[in-house]
């Protein structure tokens, strides 16, 4: 995997979450885990007013990306694993991280 397109997709994902762009958010997830999007969304602060890439680590065949989602009162970190699927980086694993 290449870092530049992965970072671009991760940044677009953050923007989609802040804009509540459900279609774009779901398209970032590999088809086999799209049914988990709603479950993951429930762990985010409501409303989510800020989102950032906390960490992006490239490996040979995947990237580990941590996102921090927050509002004035709360924050949540979601750890994701991205792999190349259908010619683009996609989330293949996602879970809430304990800080």
Residues 95/87, Cβ–Cβ less than 8 Å: no
Question: What mean pLDDT comes out for the span 46-55?
Answer: 97
In this structure, what DSSP letter does residue 1 have?
A: -
Domains of the chain: 3-97 (3.10.450.50)
Per-residue pLDDT at 99 exceeds 70: no
In this structure, what DSSP letter does residue 98 have?
A: P
pTM: 0.95
Query: What are the pLDDT digits (tens) for 39-50?
Result: 999 999 999 999
Token readout for 61 is 């065949």
């Amino acid at each position: 995997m290449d870092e530049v397109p992965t970072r671009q997709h991760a940044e677009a994902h953050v923007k989609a979450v802040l804009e509540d762009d459900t279609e774009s958010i779901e398209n970032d997830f590999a088809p086999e885990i799209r049914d988990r999007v709603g479950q993951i969304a429930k762990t985010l602060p409501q409303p989510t007013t800020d989102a950032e890439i906390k960490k992006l680590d490239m490996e040979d065949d995947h990237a580990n990306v941590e996102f921090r989602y927050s509002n004035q009162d709360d924050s949540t970190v979601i750890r994701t694993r991205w792999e190349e699927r259908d010619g683009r980086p996609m989330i293949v694993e996602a879970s809430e991280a304990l800080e």
